[in-house]
Structure 1
Amino acid sequence: ILLTSEFFNNDFKEFDKDIIFITTHLTHPQTIKNLKHNNRNFMLAYRGSEIAKYLKIFKYGELSEGHSVANVAYGLAVFLRHKNIIFIGQDLAYGEDGFSHTKDYQNLDKHEGHYQRDFGNFRALAYGGKGFVESSFIWNLFRSFLEKRIHEANQL
């Protein structure tokens, strides 16, 4: 979506120097414009879709399915045979203040009201097993699917 294209509308200079950004072929065109504008290295990766299957576009393979960035990233890490995979920033819970993101998050206003809607319906064990945190229906699906994929990969 256009809103998330803004995450790439900045220039971190040396920090981005050796990073290759991977985005799906379904990304918003503004994302590509922002990546190019800031001279970032990137690649478009196929992520299963019905139209691509119909057109038989499989020449370069595909990223694993997933309904969140973490699921796709995990699939890529497993495909590359990485063993020690660390997720940074993949928090699928509301903070004690009821917010889903930090106060300086540029799209915080787009998330208003979600906490109240989901409060008390989707609780998950907190990090370190100490207490519980509030989550949302969608985040709970993301987490459950990711946990399932991690379990399946560990069975191989």
Structure 2
Amino acid sequence: MSSEDFRESSLSQKVSSAGGSQKNKEVLSSPTPSVSLSQTSDFQHESELFTEPHLAQMEKTFQDEVDSTGALDMKTFVKAVKKILSNTSNEMIEALFLKVDMNCNGSITWQEYLDYVMREFKGKEKMMRSQCRLRFHLPMRIVPL
């Protein structure tokens, strides 16, 4: 068996269907990614919610749309974010809602939203700092204190 034959046989796998018949189905050797290409663009839209104009729109929405508890439920939040970012999928907005709703009570307040934005920025800033390379000019000098 050649290496080419071995590679092809490891990529093909017999899968039985509900009717009992078997079909050949190609299977990738690596696990399938959990994030699709369309979801990647949704992540980019989500980061747009953190720009100053979008934050101002979100604050106005919270002021206009809050219920008697002073919070937005998921349905109202999805509708409000859809107005701001029309290209974002409902699934992505619902996932954002679940991230923001820290106390899991089914509604989010403006303060919870701001807390989430701050945590998100803190995480991104930490990541950027960890990726930044320090540059030292050689030869280095010792500076007395």
**Same fold, judged at TM 0.5 (above):** no
Q: TM-score, normalising length from structure 2?
A: 0.25
Write 1 or 2 for the structure with the bigger share of helix.
2
